[in-house]
Amino acid sequence: MPETILCGVRLKNPVIAASGTFGFAAEYAQLFDVGRLGAICTKGLTLRPRQGNSGVRVWETTGGILNSVGLQNPGIPAFLEQELPRMRTLGTVIIANVGGADQAEFVEGVRLLSDADGIDIIELNISCPNVERGGATFSKTCESARAVVAAVRPVCHRPLMVKLSPDAEDIVSVARACEEAGADALSLVNSFRGMAIDIRARRPVFDNVTAGLAGPCIKPIALRMVWEVAHAVHIPVVGIGGISTWEDAAEFLLAGATAIGVGTATLVKPTAMLDIIDGLERFGAAALAPL
Amino acid sequence: MTTAPVYAEDVPVLAQERIAQDVYLLTVSAETAGAPGQFYLLRAWDRDPLLSRPLSLYTATDTTVSFLYQVRGRGTALLSRCEPGDRLTLLGPLGHGFRLADLGGRVAIVTGGIGIAPMRALAEQLLPQHVTLIAGFRSTPFALQDFERLGVHALVATEDGCAGTRGLCTDLFDPGRFDSVATCGPAPMMARVAALCAAAHVPCQVSLEARMACGVGACLVCACATLQGNRRVCTDGPVFDAREVVWHA
């Protein structure tokens, strides 16, 4: 298997469980050896506990899923106390995904996670489409992205990966702004803002009206964005967006991604990532070198 | 009592029986029988629709698991077309089922429509002479004989009056006559049963339904509002103490 170095951290393979679809790993550890994964990214964490969004939270669409979870999580202090010790025993790299409603919450959250033992990489989630304040608005423009990355950089003593929204005004410029502000890596894409309407009830399906679209239907757009960003920055890029098979993963690696994240596919088949790891292994490292 | 869930592809379909309009009984080969109130994720297709479908355990033997389900959309329609010999994918048993220790004395099982599905396995675990099934249906009842065969007394309500009493199951339910209650059905019906039980100080367990994705507690899309905040229907439930659930109007 191609060993992967992601901003100085050694991954046993380039396959990462993407944030939000893998809980804190214990949920899937009962089904397969999650230690085989290259890395595991936590559910989005915020300084304070969040209850998440009301109403319908998931809706199937052709080739994809709309979700509106809204960063439900127990808060960073509870995560550090209750979840992290267990995650550290899994035998793989741990990435902590951190969100925030404002810059101060991001800074404080990153500070707490950065000081904790056992977190290898911090993923700054400036791209959640499902929260009213903060979230994807931070990665909409270069200015807002640059400001939040620059603010957390001094308190972050771990490799800092910034997760970008595909709804940015210009994702390549936002990527460059994050690199200039001190990001060690970029991950893209988060889910796209979409919506669904209940035609009989004559109202939007989601209480928040919009929701995050993910799954195979976004893959070609995500791939194009990864290609463009990987060619525009000098830091590693983690490709995410509808990867379901090892062939999908190979496309992202060829497009210039150093590693890839898998989300929705795990919901379709719990062991999808193992199939991807095995498929990439058979295909061989040489065939996966960027174009 | 929980068995670790198993993910299995190529699970043989043993039987598929249409038992009422849009209601089917599917039996598959499985050696991991769940407890009453637990459920499985099923799929009989590749990637479209993307998500598997959660179905509660109806009955089990040492080598089989059966699901009673209603065709609601494309996923359940595809499941209903499975025939003996076909293969499907199964993940389960999942979730926390009924707490049998809290279902003592005279037990009422109150169901609406397909909400009867998780109750057959439960009734089997209780003393039949102490159990009353109060089942409501929109029209023609189904599955009742499976309960009567156990010796369970059944009261039936139908909205169109085609069988039993015309009306709702809640019209027939007097919580004062029971020591404990289990219920499953449409949310307004369960909310009504929960309110009646709360007023009469009778403990009540509710089996909730939700749109699910992972089924194992990782993705948080099947949240329900409880007094302790949002909880996961798939792993904290699907059976909850009715007093814990916050019912929406």
pLDDT at B1: 47
User: Are residues B50 and A215, on separate chains, in Cβ contact within 8 Å?
Assistant: yes
Mutation target for A interface from B47, B211, B220: give the one with most A CBs within 10 A.
B220
Is the domain spanning B6-94 CATH 3.40.50.10150? The answer is no
Q: Please give the average per-residue pLDDT across B197-215, as a whole number.
A: 97
Nearest to A57 among B50, B223, B229 (CB): B223
Per-residue pLDDT for B235 more than 60?
yes
CB within 8 Å: B7 and A270: yes
User: Which structural domains are found in chain A, ordered by start?
Assistant: 4-53+70-192+215-288 (3.20.20.70)
Among residues B196, B194, B248, B246, which one has the least CA distance to residue B225?
B246
Residues in chain A with pLDDT values less than 70: 1-2
pLDDT exceeds cutoff 60 at B215: yes
**What residues in A contact B48, CB-CB < 8 Å?**
62-63
pLDDT digits (tens, 9 = 90+) for B80-95: 999 999 999 999 999 9
* Nearest CB neighbour to B51, from listed A43, A69, A267: A267
pLDDT at position A2: 62
Q: What is the pLDDT of residue A145?
A: 95
Confidence band for B45, pLDDT divided at 50, 70 and 90: very high
Q: What is the DSSP letter of A288?
A: G
Closest among A259, A23, A59 to B50, alpha carbons compared: A59
Alpha-carbon separation of residue B132 from B35, B105, B113, B166, B173 (angstroms): 20, 11, 16, 18, 10
Whether B72 contacts chain A with CB within 8 A: no
In sign, the C-alpha dihedral spanning A119, A231, A163, A36 is negative
Is the Cβ of A194 closer than 8 Å to some Cβ of chain B? no
Nearest to B7 among A60, A215, A271 (CB): A271
Q: What is the pLDDT of residue A1?
A: 59
Which percentage of chain B shows pLDDT scores above 70?
A: 99
Question: A94, A102 in Cβ contact below 8 A?
Answer: no
Q: Do A58 and B235 touch (CB under 8 A)?
A: no
Which residues in chain B have Cβ-Cβ distances shorter than 8 Å to A270? 7, 91, 214, 216
Selection from B110, B141, B150, B147 nearest residue B19 by Cα: B141
Chain region(s) in chain B for CATH 2.40.30.10: 6-94
Asked whether residue B2 carries a pLDDT value surpassing 90, the answer given is no
- Say how far apart CA B165 and CA B221 lie, in whole Å: 38
Contact across the interface for A60 and B51, Cβ inside 8 Å: yes
Contact A97, A44 (CB under 8 A): yes
Nearest chain A Cα to B215, which residue? A267
**3-state secondary structure labels for all residues of chain B:** CCCCCEEEEEEEEEEEEEEECCEEEEEEECCCCCCCCCEEEEECCCCCCCCCEEEECCEECCCEEEEEEECCCHHHHHHHCCCCCCEEEEEEEECECCCHHHCCCCEEEEEEHHHHCCHHHHHHHCCHHHEEEEEEECCCCCCHHHHHCCCCEEEEEECCCCCCEECCHHHHCCHHHCCEEEEECCHHHHHHHHHHHHHHCCCEEEECCCCCCCCCCCCCCCEEEECCEEEECCCCCEEEEHHHECCCC
Helix (H, G, I), strand (E, B) or coil at A216: helix
Q: Do A270 and B216 touch (CB under 8 A)?
A: yes
Inter-chain contacts counted by CB atoms under 8 A, chains A and B:
90
Model confidence pLDDT, tens digit, residues B93-143: 999 999 999 999 999 999 999 999 999 999 999 988 899 999 999 999 999
Neighbouring residues of B102: CB distance < 8 A, sequence distance ≥ 6: B180, B203, B205
> Which residues in chain A are contacts of B49 at CB distance < 8 A?
60
DSSP label of A248: H
Please answer yes or no on whether A27 and B4 come within 8 Å at the CB atom.
no
Q: Calculate helix-pair angle for A219-230, A246-254, nearest 10 degrees.
A: 30
Residue among A162, A181, A93 at smallest CA distance from A124: A162
Residue extent(s) of CATH 3.40.50.80 domains in chain B: 100-244
pTM (predicted TM-score): 0.95
Q: Residue B199's CB: how many other CB atoms inside 10 A?
A: 10
Enumerate residues 6+ apart whose C-beta is below 8 A from A151. A103, A106, A107
Q: What interface predicted TM-score (ipTM) does this complex get?
A: 0.94
Q: Quick check: B150 contacting A, CB < 8 Å?
A: no
Whose structure tokens read 């060690």? A184
| Mutate which: B9, B48, B94, B216, vs A, most A CBs within 10 A | B216
Point out the residues of A that are catalytic.
128
Closest partner residue to B221 (CB to CB) among A51, A69, A268 is A69
Interface touch B49/A57, C-beta < 8 Å: no
B229 inside 8 A of chain A by CB? yes
Residues A19, A125 contacting (CB under 8 angstroms): yes
Contact at CB, A27 and B222, closer than 8 angstroms: no
Once rounded to an integer, what is the mean pLDDT over residues B155-173? 96
User: What angle in degrees, to the nearest 10, is found between the helix axes of A142-152 and A171-180?
Assistant: 30
- pLDDT per position as a tens digit, A224-250: 999 999 999 999 999 999 999 999 999
How far is residue B155's CA from residue A18's CA, in Å, rounded to a whole number? 50
The answer, for B85 touching chain A at a CB cutoff of 8 Å, is: no
A176 touches chain B (CB under 8 A): no
Per the prediction, chain B carries an average pLDDT of 95
| Span B100-244 CATH architecture | 3-Layer(aba) Sandwich (3.40)
Put the strands of the sheet holding B239-241 in their side by side order.
Answer: B165-166, B153-158, B131-137, B107-112, B180-184, B204-207, B239-241
Residues of chain B contacting residue A206, judged by C-beta atoms under 8 Å apart: none
